Chain A
Amino acid sequence: MYIEDVSVLLPQAQDFSEFKNLVLKQIAINFTPKYVLNDYLGDIAVPQISRDNPYYPKPSDLKILRTDTIAAIIAASRLVEKLDFDSQKLQQADLWISTGNFAEKLLDENSKLVKYLTKSYEIQDRKQRLQRIYRVIPPMLGLNTLTNATESYVAQYLGIKGRSTTVGNTSASSFYVIQKAISRLRNGSLDLALVGGSVLSDDAELLLLRNYLQKPRAITGAAFLALTSEIRPSTKAMVENLFSYYIGAIKNNGHVSISAKSPMLIVSNPFNFKVVDFKPWKQVLRLDQILGYAGSISMFVMIAAALVFFEQNGVSSVDCMDIDPLGRVSFLTIKRISNEA
C-alpha cells in the first residue's frame, strides 16, 4: 500500500520543511522543564500555533479544542490540500486516529479547577463540599476531555464521512491504525485513508513517563499520512513488512531480535533500547533524541522522517520500529517510490 504524502505540526517544526531541517541536521527541539510543587516532572515542548494560520479553527470551537486537536486540524487540512483528491473521494475516505492523553492544563498547579478542588478539601461539611465541586466543574469538561475529539473535529473540518475510529493511547496505537487502514486498502474496501493523530503532553503525560524515564521529554503535536490503494505520479512511498507483538512489561528481560529489511532503522521512543539488537542495521536514527517522546504519533513521525531521507541520495528503504511503555513492539518498512516508477 502507498503513502501519498505526510503532514506534521510539531514544536519548532510547523510543517514538513521545518521537520526536514530538524531531522537532517539532528537538531533537538527546545524543551521547557515542568515542575509540580518544585518536584521535577520532566521537559515539555508545545508548538506555538499562530491564529493567523489559514486552517486555524473557528473561534466558537476554541472553548472545546485542546492544543493537540488544533494541531491535528491544521496538519490534516494541509495534507488534504496537497492531495488533490476530489471532494467525493475525500468524503468517502476512512479516518483512523491514534491519540494520547486528554487532560490539558487540568492538572497544572495553576489550574483554576485544581485550586478550587484543593480548597474544597478544607470544607468539612460533605454537602457544602459537593456543592463547591459542582460549581467549579466547567460546563464543557466532558467535551474538553472527549477522547475522540481529534477524530470528530478533523472529520468536521474536512468533511470526511467514511469509516473511522480512535485508538489510544501509547505509541503502539499509531501502528495499529496504520495496520487497520492498510488492511482495508488491501481488501479493496476503499481507495483513500487518512491516518494520523495527535499527542498531548502535560503534567499527566510526564507523570506517566517518569515511571520509565529519568528525564522524560514529551511533545504536543500532530501528524497525518494519506494512504492509497493505487500508485499515482505523486506517490512518495510504499509500506511493507508490518507486524507487532507484545514482549511483556517494560521491566522484563525479553530480547528483541528482528532481522533488518533495510540498511537504515528509525526508532522513536526511548523505551527498552537495552533489549533491542541494533546490529542488523548499518544506520540507526533515534528520533526521540530530536523530538522527545512522540507518544501516539510515533509511527507517523518515523514515516515522515523516512520520507526526509528518501529525498537524500541513496536511501530507498527505511525500517521503522517502536516499543511502547507496555512492551509492545511495532515494525514496518517504508520503501521509496521514484517518480519514474
Chain B
Amino acid sequence: MKRKVYVLDYELISPLGIGNKQVFENIKQNVSAVNVLTNFYTEGLELNIGAEIKDHLTRFLAPDEDEQFKEFFKIERKFALIYAVYQLIKNRVLPMVEDLDPMQGGVVLGIGADCGVFEFMERYIREIYVEREMSILEFKNFFQPIDIYSAFLGMRFNLAAFQQGILTACAASNQAIGWGAEAIADGLVDFVVTGGTDSIINTIGYIAFEKLGTLAEPDEPLANTCKPFDINRSGTVAAEAAGIVVLASEDFVREKNIKPRFEILGYGSSLDAYMITAPDPTGDGMRRAMESALESARIEPSQVEYINAHGTGTELNDVAEVKALNDAFGPALEKILVSSTKDRHGHAIAAAGVQEFIITAMALENSFIPHTRNLKNPIQDRWFRPLMDKPVKKQVNVAMNCNYGFGGVNSALIFKRI
C-alpha cells in the first residue's frame, strides 16, 4: 500500500448475532446458526436448511425515517440488514466525519443481486399482473437498487467522492474493502465506509441456489451440515449478513487523534478465466490473488499467522483452495492457522467477505482463533493443516481473509493488528 490504511471500527449483523459482541460470544461458544429456515415458508421443499438472522430488525427503523427508506426497509432484506448495521455504528462514525470534507470520503459496498429483481417479484407480479394495480411503481426508484445501499450511507455520513456497489458475488465485500483501502492508499480520499450486505434467505433466491447444486445435504445434528475442507463435505449453507468496516488514512488518524485498530497491509485480486460455473480446479487464480496480496503487503508468506479461508464446504471450492494455499504459501503453510467459519454462519454470498473480515478482526483482538467447527477428516494435501477440534487461544497479529466468487473472481486481504 502506497499510503497507510487503517481500520478504525467495524460492525456486523450475522446469523450468529446482532452486533459484534453477540457474534463473537457465539464464536467462542462454538455455536452454529445452521438450522431449519423459518424466515420464509419452506414446507414441502426437499432442502430447507440455512443460517438466517431470526430477527425482523424493525426496532432499528427510526420513526422519523424518510418514507421511501421505510418502505424499502420493509420489502428489501439486504437494505434492512445494512440499515440495522448503520444504526449500530452511526454514533461512532458520525463524530469522525463531523468536519470532514465530503470529497475526502467515499462509500463502497459489496452487494448481492440475489436473483436480480426476484426479491421484488412476488409483490410486483401480484400487483401488476394479478391485481392489475400499478402501486408498486411508487417504489420503482428502488427497482434494481444496487447503488441505493452505498448512496444511503453516503448521504447519512456525508461522503461524496464515490458511492458504489461491487457486484462480484461471493468475493464482493472482500473486494469492496480492498477497493476502499486502495482508494485511500492512492490518495483519492482519506476516509471510506465499506463492507457489504446480502441475503439469499427468500423463496426464489434459495431455490435458485439449491438448483445450482451448491447447497449441502442436511446432517444430524443440523449444525453439522456444512463441513469446509472435510473429505465428506456435500455443499454450503445459504445465509445472510451485513457489515460495515471503517477505513481511514494515516493523516486522518493523526488529525483526529484516533487510535486505529488494524492496518490493511495488502490486497490482491485475480480472475480464473476458466469457466463461469466452476473454479479453476488447479487453484491457479486463487493462488495469484493470495500472492498478489502478499506482494502488495510486502511480507513473506511465513509472516501471515492466521488465514480465514473461503472454505465453503463445496466439493470444487475447497479442493481448489487447498491447492492454492499450498502453492502460495509453500512449507510455511504448515505453521499458519487456517480455518473457515462458514460452518457456523453459512455462506452470506456478497456479504461473506465483510462477515469473515470482521470475525477475523475480532479473533485477533480477542486472541481467540476459531477452528473449523465441523471438520473431522480434512483434505490431505502437502502442508495443509487446518485448525480443527478446538480453537487456539494466543496472540496473533497478521491475518489474511480470502473470498472467491462465481465466475472465477478471487480476492485476498491481509491486515495487521495494531
Contacts and interface: CB of A to CB of B under 8 A. Distances in A.
Nearest to A246: B160
A204 B2 CA distance: 42
A164 interface: yes
Interface in A145-201: 145-149, 151-153, 155-156, 158-170, 172-173, 176, 179-180, 183, 186-187
11 contacts: A103-B117, A121-B130, A128-B44, A141-B204, A148-B168, A153-B276, A156-B275, A161-B270, A165-B179, A207-B137, A326-B163
Nearest to A135: B207
B44 A165 contact: no
A121 B126 contact: yes
Nearest to A147: B167
A187 B186 contact: yes
A160 B130 contact: no
Nearest to B277: A143
B164 A167 contact: yes
A24 interface: no
B207 A146 contact: no
B129 A118 contact: yes
Contacts of B60: none
Contact of B115 (A36, A117, A127, A142): A142
Contacts of A127: 43-44
A101 interface: yes
Contacts of B186: 183, 186-187
B164 A146 contact: no
A25 interface: no
B406 A146 contact: yes
Given A101-B144, A208-B144, A173 B164 contact: yes
B351 interface: no
Contact of A161 (B44, B144, B273): B273
B96 interface: no
A300 B165 CA distance: 19
Contacts of B332: none
Interface in B173-226: 175, 179, 182-183, 186, 188, 203-204, 207-209, 211-212
Contacts of A233: none
Given A142-B208, A163-B269, 19 more contacts: A102-B144, A107-B121, A118-B130, A130-B203, A133-B203, A138-B211, A141-B115, A142-B115, A143-B276, A146-B407, A148-B406, A149-B407, A155-B272, A155-B407, A159-B273, A161-B270, A207-B137, A244-B162, A245-B102
A145 B113 contact: yes
Interface string A30-68: 000000110100000000000000000000010010000
Contact of B132 (A37, A138, A143, A165): A37
Nearest to B134: A39
The 5 closest A-B pairs by CB, nearest first: A152-B407, A147-B167, A246-B160, A145-B116, A169-B146
B169 A36 contact: no
B212 A142 contact: yes
A261 interface: no
Given A114-B129, A204-B117, A148 B169 contact: yes
Interface SS of chain B = mixed
A187 B184 CA distance: 13
Nearest to A324: B147
B163 A328 contact: yes
A147 B115 CA distance: 9
Given A146-B276, A161-B272, A165-B409, A208 B143 contact: yes
B75 interface: no
A166 B252 CA distance: 29
Interface of A: 36-37, 39, 61, 64, 91, 95, 99-103, 106-107, 109, 114, 117-118, 121, 126-128, 130-131, 133-134, 137-139, 141-143, 145-149, 151-153, 155-156, 158-170, 172-173, 176, 179-180, 183, 186-187, 204-205, 207-208, 210-211, 244-246, 248, 324-326, 328
Nearest to B124: A107
A37 B128 contact: yes
Given A145-B115, A156-B408, A172 B164 contact: yes
Among A118, A141, A165, which residue has the most Cβ atoms of chain B within 10 A?
A165
A4 B89 CA distance: 45
Interface in B27-51: 41-45
Nearest to A117: B125
Contact of B409 (A37, A130, A152, A248): A152
A76 B141 CA distance: 31
B43 A130 contact: yes
Nearest to A118: B129
Nearest to B409: A148
Nearest to B151: A326
Contacts of A246: 102, 151, 154, 160, 163
Contacts of A155: 271-273, 407-408
B103 A210 contact: no
Contacts of A131: 44
Contacts of A102: 113, 116, 144
A138 B211 CA distance: 8
A186 B188 CA distance: 12
Contacts of A142: 115, 208-209, 211-212, 406
Contacts of B362: none
B284 to A, nearest CB: 8
A148 B140 contact: no
B327 to A, nearest CB: 15
B109 to A, nearest CB: 11
Nearest to A101: B144
A284 B126 CA distance: 45
Nearest to B213: A139
B292 A167 contact: no
Contact of B168 (A36, A158, A165, A170): A165
A205 B134 contact: no
A134 B207 contact: yes
B285 interface: yes
B182 A162 contact: no
Contacts of B164: 167, 172-173, 176
Contacts of B167: 99, 147-148, 166-169
A95 B113 contact: no
Interface in B136-162: 137, 140-141, 143-144, 146-148, 151, 154-155, 160-162
Contacts of A153: 276, 407
B166 interface: yes
Contacts of A204: 116-117, 143-144
A134 B276 contact: no
A161 B407 CA distance: 12
B288 interface: yes
B405 interface: yes
Nearest to B158: A246
A146 B214 CA distance: 15
Contacts of A138: 211
